[in-house]
Structure 1
Amino acid sequence: MMTDINQCLDSGQVLAAHAPTGVGKTAASLTPLLEDATDNDGTVFFVTPRHSQHEIALETVREMNENTGSSLNAVDLLGKTHMCDAPSGGECPRKEATVGDNGPTPRARKRLAQTIGQNLSAEELVDECDRVCPYTLTLYMLDSADLVVADYFHVFSSGIREQILSRSGDKLNDISIVVDEAHNLPDRSRDLLSSTLSDRNLQRAVDEADRHAMLSQKQLLEKLQRTMSELVPGPGQNEIPEQKLLNQIRQVEDIDRLLEKLNDLVQEVESEDDEESETESVIEFIEAWRQDNPAARYAEADETSWKIRVSCLTPQPVTQRPLNRCRTAVLMSGTLKPQSMYEDLLGIEDMEAAEYESTFPEENELSLAVSTVSSRYDDRDDSTYDKFAWYIQRTAEEVDGNCAAFFPSYGFAERVENRIQHDKTYIEQPGMSKQRKQEIVDEFSSQDNALLIAPASGSLGEGVDYPGDALRGVFIAGLPLRPPTFEVQQLVDFLDDRYGEGWNYGYTYPAINSALQAAGRCIRSSEDEGIVVYIDERYTWSQYRKLLPKLKETRSPWTETQEFFS
C-alpha cells in the first residue's frame, strides 16, 4: 500500500484502496504522505466521519516521532461546538484572552509554545486550556501542522476548506488528502448540498422574529409559511418543480431581498441571544434550492405536518475539485467495492484501484449464507419473520459468546425480535440518544451470551467497535436495501441516465456495503474469532457474491457453527 501511494504521488493519481480491518491502513497511508509533505512543505489532511479514528491517526504520528526521531506536528480539528465555550452562534467568552490585535495574545502564544509538538487530541487540548479558547488555539496551530485530522466537511465544504487553507498557509495543490471510511463519502458529500424546510422550521423562525420585535421579517416569514403550505399537494411524497417553488417565493418578496432581510434577523438573534438563529435553516434551504445541481425536489406530508426537501443527486460539486486538484488523495475503506463506482460518483479524473488482502487468520472466521428465506417486500409475511427468528435463535444457541442480528429496518427487526426467545436481549430503538446507545453497547459487551438487535445501517451496525470477545456471532438478517422512496427512485434514475448503473449504484451496492459493514463488527483483530451468517437468498446470487467474502451455503447454519466453536 505504501508503494502504491508513492507511485500515486509521482503520477498525481488518486488511490482507491479496498483494505480490510487489520491491514494497518492508517499507518500505511500516513507514513509516505507525511514524508512527502515534510520534503515539499505541504500538509496531510486525514478526514474521517468517526471520532474514534482521530485518536488512531494521532497515535500513528506519535509513534512515528518516537521511532524515527522526527518532530511531526498533528492538529486534531473538531467543530467549534465541541471545543469552544461560546453559545451556539454567539461570541466566545475567552476571545479577549486569546485573540489580540495582531494575532494570539501573549497568554495564547505561551499556550501555543507549550502545545505544539505534543500532538494532543481535541479533548486533551480542551482540558489543557483553562483560560484561552482551545478551538481558536487549534486554528492558530494549523500553520505549523504536518497533519490535520478532521471531518469530511473541513475538506469537502469549499467555504470551510478555504478558511482552513488560509490558516495553514497551503494551496489546494500543496495538500494530500486521506479519506477514511471512504464508502461514506458520496452520501456525506451529497448531504452537504441538500436541505430540508418544514412547517416547524418556519414557525420557529416566525416566533423568533416576534421575540425580537422585527415586524417586517415576521410578516415575510408568515407569508412564506402560507405560501409553502399551499405548495404542498397533500399527504405522501410529491415532486415540486424547481421554478414553481421559486415563483411562489417571489410572490412574497424578491428572493435576494428576502435573503438579505432574513440575514438581518439572523444577525440580530446571534448578537442579542448569543445563540444560533432558527431562521438560518430557512436561508440555507432557499440557497440550496437555487443551486444549479441535479436534485430530487419534493414535498412530504401527513395529516399534521409537512416538509419540503431538496436532495442533491451527485457529490461531484464538492468532491471533484479537492480530489483532482490536491497533490494526491487516498480513499480507503474495508468496503470500497466496486472501486469503479466511486471513480464515477466522485468524478475522479485519474484513479488507481488497489485491493489488499486481510492479514487475519482465515480459520478465525466462518462466513455462511442461508438461501432458504428472503427479506424481499413481496415475500414478507408471518412465516418469513418466523423463519428469520428460528435461524437466528437456533444458531445463536451454538455460539460461544454474544451475538448481534442486524436488519434492513427497525420494523423488520421488531417483528423478528418478538418471535425470538432469549434471556438477554438488547434492542436499538428509533430515536434513541447517542448516550443510550453507548450504554447498550457497554451493557451488552459485559455479558456472556447476550443478543443485540439493531438495523444494519444504524450506528450500532457500522460506527461501533465491540471490544475483545464482546461479539462472537453476527447475523445479517435480510438485505438492507434503502426504502423505495421518491428520493431513492430519483437517485436511481439519475445514476442510470448518467452511468447506466442506476440500480446498482443507487440501490444494490449501498445495501451490500451496509451488510459488509455490519458483518465487520465481528472480527476486529487478529485474535478475534467468530461466525457471520448472511440470511437471504440474494446473498447467493452471482451479481452479489462478487462483492462478498467467500461464503459457504448451508440450510442448517447451527451445524457449522457448532463445529466451528468446538
Structure 2
Amino acid sequence: MIKQLNLSVHDVVDLVLRKGSLDTRVFNQSSMAEGTRLHSVFQKGQNSNYIAEYPLNAYIDVDDYVFYLNGRADGVIHQEDIWIIDEIKTTVEKIELFHLENEEWHLGQAIFYAYMLSLEKTLDKVYVRLTYIHQKSEEENQIFEKAYTFAELETYVFDVLRSYIEYVKKIEARIKDRNESISNFDFPYEQMRSGQDEMIKFASDIVASNSVGYVEAPTGIGKTSSALFPYIKSLVQPGKEKIFYLTSKNSIKESVFKLLYYMIAKGLKVTSVFLTSKDTLCINDKKRHCNPDECPFAVGYYDKVNKVIFQELENREIFTQGDILAIAKEYNICPFEFQLDLSMYVDIVVGDYNYVFDPTASLIRYFEDGFKKPYLLLVDEAHNLPSRTREMYSAELSIFDFLKLKKEMPNINSRKIKSLTNKLIDYFKDYECSSDHVELECVPDDLEDMLSEFLERAKTVIKDFPKEVNDTFLDVYFKVNSFLNLPQEDTDNFAYYFVASEGKALSIKITCLDSRRYIRRQTAMFSSALFFSATLSPHNFYIDLLGGNDESNTLYLPSPFALENRLVMVDGNISTFYKDRERSLKEIAKLIVEVVKQKVGNYFVFFPSYEYMEKCYSLFEYTTSIDILTQNRNMDNYERSNFLSSFKENPKKTTVGFIIMGGIFSEGIDLLSDRLIGAIIIGVCLPKISYENDLIKKHEGLEDSDVGFNYAYVYPGFNRVLQAAGRVIRSEKDKGVIVLVDSRFRTSKYKELYENIWPDAIEVNSASEAGEYTSQFWEEKK
C-alpha cells in the first residue's frame, strides 16, 4: 500500500542531516531574528534575475511512499540556461568554521530545493549556492557553489528520504498500536460524575468540528478526564496528530500524570512528555551556558539525540521531569533540548502556558510560521491565561539592571559594551520626569538604538568570551532581548512609560493592556481548542478576554454536589475598605470565632493583605482553644507542603489557617473530606489600585468607564473570591461553610455576581446570627 507523507524540506533534513553540538551563542532567538532581517536585506540587493523566497513543491515516489515536499528557497537565480538555488545562512561565528560544522545540513536543504526545481523546470543541471553572511559585518560574506546533474540530485534526495523512511516506519508502528488501543478504549472509570457526560459530549463535538469551545465546570466534576478523554479519542482521525495540555499549576500537571498513568494501565497506548523550565532542568554547573566549550551535555548533542528518542520511546509511555533527567545523565545530552525534541514524537505535550503563548518562550519548532497545524489545544485553569499572557507581552528595564552590570561586569576586553552600559545608566539619570509615571507614545528612538547596539555587542561578548560571562551579564542580555522582541506594530495595545522617583527615571516599562489578539492568534494555529476552568465567571468577561464572543461555543455546568451539603452566608455589615479596617478587626475576629466554634474542624480565613491578616492574628495571640497557622511570605515548596499537612482528617482540635486571597493556597489545592470544612473570605479581593491596573481600566473603559473598572478590578477580584470558596466543596462527600464578608456584597453589582453562583446564599447581619446558622447546618448533618 502506497502511503503519502506531507512534509516540509526542513522536516526531513533537520531529522536526518543535522549533526554537531548545541550552541546558543550561535543559534538563539536573537540571532534568528537578525538572520531574518539580513536575509531580506541581501535579497533586496540582488538584480532582476534573482527571485526571492521561491516556493517549491514536489511529489516524490520512494519505495512504498509518496512524499509531498514543500518549502521556500531563499533565492532562485535564472540567467539564460543557468539555474541556481541560493541558500542564505547568517551567523555570528567565523564563516569558515560555521560552514564546516553545518555543511551537510545546509547543503542538504539546498540540494532538496535544487531537485524540486529540476522537476518543476525539467532541468538536467542545477547550481547549488550556499551564501554565508556574517551578522557583525554584513559586507563580510562567502559563497560556496557547485553544479549538480539531475541524476546526482535524485540519488542524494532518495538516499536521504530512505533514511527518513526508517524513522517513519518506527513512528507508524507506534501510531498503529496507539490507534488500535484508542479505538478499543472506553472511558476509564466505571461511573461518570454528574455533568461529565455533558462535558465529554461537548468536547467531542468541539474537536470533531475543528472549533473552539469554552467550559465552566465546577471543582470535583472531573474536568481533566472530561477534556482529555474525547481529545485522545480524536487522535485516530486524520489531521489530529498531537494534544497540547496547558496549565500553570504543578498540582494539575500531577493530576494529568496520574490520569494518563491510570489510562495506560487500563490498556491505552499513548505517549506524553511533561515539559519543565530550562533553569529547573539544567544540570550543567554553569546555568544558561549552553555551548560545547562550557557544557558537556551540549557536546555532540545532535549526533546522539535521534537514537536516544526512538530507543526511549520503546521503553516508556510517560516522560516526567525525573525521567528526562535520568535519560539526559545516562546519555550525556541536554535534558531541556531533549524534552523539546522528544515532544515532536509523543502524542500529548503537557506544560505551562508559555510554551504556546509567550513571544520569547513559545515552541518555535511548532508555531514559527503562524499556519494552522494538526494539533489540539486544551487549556486548564483558563481564567489565569489572559493575565498571564499580558505578563508575557510586558517588559521592564531599569537603571538598576545596568548599575548591577557595571559593578559585576565580566573581565572582558570590550570597551564598547562597557561604554554602552555607562551610556544607558546616564540615559536614565539624565531623563527628567515631571511625575512618577511619564507616558510615551513608544520606546524613544535613541534609547531603542542604544539597546539594539547593546544587544549586538552582548552577543559578541557571549560568543567570544563565554567562560567570562556571568549570570548578571546574561540576565541583562535576556532582559534587553525580551524588551526589544515585543511586538512593534500594536502600539495601541501597549502602554509605554517611565517609572520615576524625585524627577529621575528609574525604569522604562512596556505594559500589555489587552492580550485578546495574542490568545486568538495562537489559538487559531490549532485545529481545535478547549478552554476550561471551575471559574469562568462572569462568563461574558472571560469569554471575551480569551478571544471569544457572544456566538462562541460555551458550556456552563452547575455544581454536581447537593446544595444541602453547603452553607453560604454573606455578612454585608462589616466594611473592609482600607479606611475601615482597624475598626472592623474585632468584628471579623468575633465572626471567625462564632463560625469555627460550632464544629471542631479545619478552616481557612482569606485576607486581602498580610498586614490585615497579621493584625487580626494578634487578636488571637493567646487563644488556646484553636490552633491558628498563618501563611508566611515567600514560602517554599517544603513550607507550603508542611502548612497543608497540618490540616488533617478527623481532627480532634480546630485548626484555622490565616491565608492571603489570591495567593498560593487560593487555588490548585485539594483538601478533601473533612481536611477543610469552612472558608471565611474577608473582602471582595480587588486587585491593588495601581498605575498599571488603571491603564487597563482606561483601555477597557473607552466607551464605558464602569466597564473599565469592572474589567480591571471587580471581575478579577471576584474570581479570586470564587477560587477561595472553591477550596471547601471538592467531592460528593464534602460538606462545608462559606462566609463572604464585606459591605460591598450588599451592592447590586456584587449581589448579581454571587447570586449567579450561589442562589442559596443567606444574608446575615451579625456574628451571632452567622453562628446560629452554622450551628443549625452542622446539626442537620449529624
TM value normalised by structure 1: 0.89
Note the C-alpha offset of 1:521: 1.4
Q: Is the 8 A contact 1:403 1:472 kept in 2?
A: yes
Q: Which residue of 2 aligns with 1:428?
A: 631
Residue 746 of structure 2 is aligned to residue 546 of structure 1: no
Q: Distance in 2 between matches of 1:15 and 1:334?
A: 15
Select which of 175, 199, 209 maps to 2:409.
209
User: Which aligned pairs between 1:317-396 and structure 2 lie closer than 5 A?
Assistant: 317-348=517-548, 351-378=552-579, 380-396=580-596
Residue 387 of structure 2 is aligned to residue 177 of structure 1: no
Note the C-alpha offset of 1:463: 3.8
Which stretch shows the higher mean deviation, 126-135 or 174-183?
A: 126-135
Residue 321 of structure 2 is aligned to residue 122 of structure 1: yes
Which stretch shows the higher mean deviation, 179-188 or 441-450?
A: 441-450
Residue 469 of structure 2 is aligned to residue 263 of structure 1: no
Select which of 279, 283, 291 maps to 1:85.
283
Q: Deviations over 1:22-46 (max 9, x none)?
A: 1111111111111112322411111
Question: Partner letter of residue 259 of structure 1?
Answer: L
Note the C-alpha offset of 1:518: 1.0
Identical-residue share of aligned pairs (%): 24
Select which of 341, 351, 354 maps to 1:140.
341
Residue 429 of structure 2 is aligned to residue 229 of structure 1: yes
Q: Is the 8 A contact 1:493 1:502 kept in 2?
A: yes
Q: Is the 8 A contact 2:275 2:349 kept in 1?
A: yes
Q: Distance in 2 between matches of 1:65 and 1:108?
A: 20
Question: Partner letter of residue 489 of structure 1?
Answer: D
Q: Which residue of 2 aligns with 1:282?
A: 480
3-state SS in 1 of match to 2:254: helix
Note the C-alpha offset of 1:208: 4.0
Note the C-alpha offset of 1:15: 1.1
Which stretch shows the higher mean deviation, 285-294 or 4-13?
A: 285-294
3-state SS in 2 of match to 1:297: strand
Note the C-alpha offset of 1:538: 2.2
Q: Which residue of 1 aligns with 2:397?
A: 197
3-state SS in 2 of match to 1:531: strand
Note the C-alpha offset of 1:107: 5.5
Q: Distance in 1 between matches of 2:410 and 2:258?
A: 51
Which stretch shows the higher mean deviation, 259-268 or 361-370?
A: 259-268
Q: Which residue of 2 aligns with 1:529?
A: 735
Residue 523 of structure 2 is aligned to residue 313 of structure 1: no
Q: Which residue of 1 aligns with 2:153?
A: none
Question: Partner letter of residue 558 of structure 1?
Answer: G
Q: Which residue of 2 aligns with 1:495?
A: 700
Q: Which residue of 2 aligns with 1:55?
A: 254
Q: Which residue of 2 aligns with 1:505?
A: 711
Q: Distance in 2 between matches of 1:108 and 1:30?
A: 25
Q: Distance in 2 between matches of 1:208 and 1:445?
A: 49
Note the C-alpha offset of 1:449: 1.6
With over 3 angstroms needed to count, the CA separation of the structure-2 counterparts of 1:320 and 1:442, relative to structure 1, is same
Q: Is the 8 A contact 2:360 2:485 kept in 1?
A: no
Question: Partner letter of residue 484 of structure 1?
Answer: I
Q: Distance in 1 between matches of 2:222 and 2:482?
A: 40
Note the C-alpha offset of 1:112: 4.1
Note the C-alpha offset of 1:545: 3.1
Question: Partner letter of residue 516 of structure 1?
Answer: L
3-state SS in 2 of match to 1:104: helix
Residue 636 of structure 2 is aligned to residue 439 of structure 1: no
Note the C-alpha offset of 1:532: 1.0
Q: Distance in 2 between matches of 1:100 and 1:28?
A: 39
With over 3 angstroms needed to count, the CA separation of the structure-2 counterparts of 1:302 and 1:465, relative to structure 1, is farther
Residue 771 of structure 2 is aligned to residue 558 of structure 1: yes
5+ unaligned residues in a row in structure 1: which ranges? none
Note the C-alpha offset of 1:108: 5.8
3-state SS in 2 of match to 1:368: strand
Q: Distance in 2 between matches of 1:31 and 1:170?
A: 28
Q: Distance in 1 between matches of 2:675 and 2:507?
A: 41
Q: Which residue of 1 aligns with 2:21?
A: none
Q: Is the 8 A contact 2:273 2:319 kept in 1?
A: yes
Q: Deviations over 1:260-313 (max 9, x none)?
A: 223334555655447571222234334449563422334445579944332210
Residue 685 of structure 2 is aligned to residue 480 of structure 1: yes
With over 3 angstroms needed to count, the CA separation of the structure-2 counterparts of 1:200 and 1:124, relative to structure 1, is same
Q: Distance in 1 between matches of 2:306 and 2:376?
A: 31
3-state SS in 1 of match to 2:378: strand
Q: Which residue of 2 aligns with 1:37?
A: 235
3-state SS in 2 of match to 1:459: coil
Q: Is the 8 A contact 2:517 2:547 kept in 1?
A: no
Note the C-alpha offset of 1:100: 3.8
Note the C-alpha offset of 1:486: 1.1
Which stretch shows the higher mean deviation, 120-129 or 221-230?
A: 120-129
Select which of 272, 288, 305 maps to 1:104.
305
Q: Is the 8 A contact 2:679 2:738 kept in 1?
A: yes
Q: Deviations over 1:474-494 (max 9, x none)?
A: 110111101111111110110
Question: Partner letter of residue 771 of structure 2?
Answer: W
With over 3 angstroms needed to count, the CA separation of the structure-2 counterparts of 1:292 and 1:209, relative to structure 1, is farther
Which stretch shows the higher mean deviation, 281-290 or 48-57?
A: 281-290
3-state SS in 2 of match to 1:165: helix
Residue 730 of structure 2 is aligned to residue 520 of structure 1: no
User: Which aligned pairs between 1:149-188 and structure 2 lie closer than 5 A?
Assistant: 149-158=350-359, 160-165=361-366, 172-188=372-388
Q: Distance in 2 between matches of 1:149 and 1:211?
A: 41
With over 3 angstroms needed to count, the CA separation of the structure-2 counterparts of 1:417 and 1:199, relative to structure 1, is farther
Residue 418 of structure 2 is aligned to residue 218 of structure 1: yes
Question: Partner letter of residue 24 of structure 1?
Answer: G
Note the C-alpha offset of 1:56: 1.6
Q: Deviations over 1:98-144 (max 9, x none)?
A: 7243x5265565344323x2x24223443465423443432232232
Q: Distance in 1 between matches of 2:465 and 2:645?
A: 41
Q: Distance in 2 between matches of 1:225 and 1:89?
A: 26
With over 3 angstroms needed to count, the CA separation of the structure-2 counterparts of 1:394 and 1:302, relative to structure 1, is farther
Question: Partner letter of residue 712 of structure 2?
Answer: G
Q: Distance in 1 between matches of 2:638 and 2:444?
A: 41
With over 3 angstroms needed to count, the CA separation of the structure-2 counterparts of 1:564 and 1:307, relative to structure 1, is farther
> Between Structure 1 and Structure 2, how many residues are aligned?
556
Note the C-alpha offset of 1:21: 0.8
3-state SS in 2 of match to 1:45: strand
With over 3 angstroms needed to count, the CA separation of the structure-2 counterparts of 1:121 and 1:212, relative to structure 1, is same
Q: Is the 8 A contact 1:37 1:43 kept in 2?
A: yes
- Give the CA RMSD over aligned residues: 3.0
Select which of 654, 665, 686 maps to 1:460.
665
Q: Distance in 2 between matches of 1:123 and 1:232?
A: 52
Note the C-alpha offset of 1:49: 0.2
Note the C-alpha offset of 1:517: 0.5
TM value normalised by structure 2: 0.66
3-state SS in 2 of match to 1:506: helix
Which stretch shows the higher mean deviation, 348-357 or 532-541?
A: 348-357
Note the C-alpha offset of 1:334: 0.7
Residue 201 of structure 2 is aligned to residue 3 of structure 1: yes
Residue 447 of structure 2 is aligned to residue 249 of structure 1: yes
With over 3 angstroms needed to count, the CA separation of the structure-2 counterparts of 1:223 and 1:128, relative to structure 1, is closer
Q: Distance in 1 between matches of 2:465 and 2:601?
A: 54
Q: Is the 8 A contact 1:390 1:420 kept in 2?
A: no
Q: Distance in 1 between matches of 2:683 and 2:328?
A: 49
Q: Distance in 1 between matches of 2:697 and 2:421?
A: 35
Q: Is the 8 A contact 2:682 2:741 kept in 1?
A: yes
Question: Partner letter of residue 534 of structure 1?
Answer: L
Q: Is the 8 A contact 1:396 1:403 kept in 2?
A: yes
